[in-house]
Amino acid sequence: MKNKAIIGISGNFAVDYNHKMVPGVEKAYVFNYYVEAIALAGGVPVILPIVSDPKAIKKQVESVDGLLLSGGHDITPFAYDQEPHPLLQDVLPRRDDFDFKLIECALEAKKPILGICRGMQALNVMFGGDLYQDVSLAKEYTLKHVQGNPLKDPTHTIDLVEGTRLQNIFKTKSIRINTYHHQAIHQIADGFYPSAFAKDGMIEAIEKDGDSFVMGVQWHPEMMAAEHPTMLKLFKFFVKESISET
């Protein structure tokens, strides 16, 4: 009998200095769009809060069927042997360490991984790739990659690489996406290949070699999934890949 897939969503961390009752309170959270997208796709969303104990992280991964790496802070450039550029924004090294360990554990357990925005960048850095610390540093940069439109609205087009899982999911040559990133992949990691590009050449999706589902997308499909059925296809495929048999 097939169970519903339990999808672990990597959590984020923030300090709320504007809280009325307890200024400076620490929060573990994810944006609800991730939760809603997994639920709409038929999965069971579970938030994985940031912890530092490797054994605890391994248990977190063991408790789920698939791993969704959510967005958030910039990844520290020290993780890919660079010094901070003036355009670098807030980093959270404890989140970097957590995400890298989640990826390691999920790969060891052969559990599907979907990285979104920062999550895609974490996959690339984890395996030896690097990033543009700001998209303006890329010579090919000609598009607006940080949109000002409503979150669910598509604002630019990406071309899908023929024969990739992503192209197989969407069954088309191009789609329009939303986009909220000021960093981007520069050198792609060994063992990965690009599966989508923006019209200015920016890498918008990556996939890992092999049979396991390990994919990253640079845009935010979770924000579009409720109103754009096409975008929900990605989450349905991911959830299906994560379903365990009992």
Choose, from 181, 220, 228, 241, the residue flagged as catalytic: 220
**Using CA of residue 90, residue 31, residue 221, residue 58, what is the dihedral sign?**
positive
**3-class SS shares of the chain: helix, strand, coil, % to 5:** 30, 25, 45
Catalytic residue, from 117, 145, 207, 228: name it: 117
Q: How far is CA 101 from CA 54, 69, 89, 120, 122, in A?
A: 7, 12, 23, 15, 11
Catalytic-residue membership of 83: no
Q: How many CA within 13 A on the CB side of residue 189?
A: 24
The token pair that represents 132 in the structure block: 């543009």
Q: Residue 8 in contact with residue 204, Cβ under 8 Å?
A: no
Does the annotation mark 117 as catalytic? yes
- State the catalytic residue, choosing from 145, 156, 207, 222: 222
Active site residue 227: no
- Choose among 122, 134, 15: nearest CA to 71: 122
CB 31 within 8 Å of CB 68: no
Q: Angle CA(17)–CA(20)–CA(26) in degrees, nearest 5?
A: 40
> What are the residue numbers of the active site?
117, 220, 222
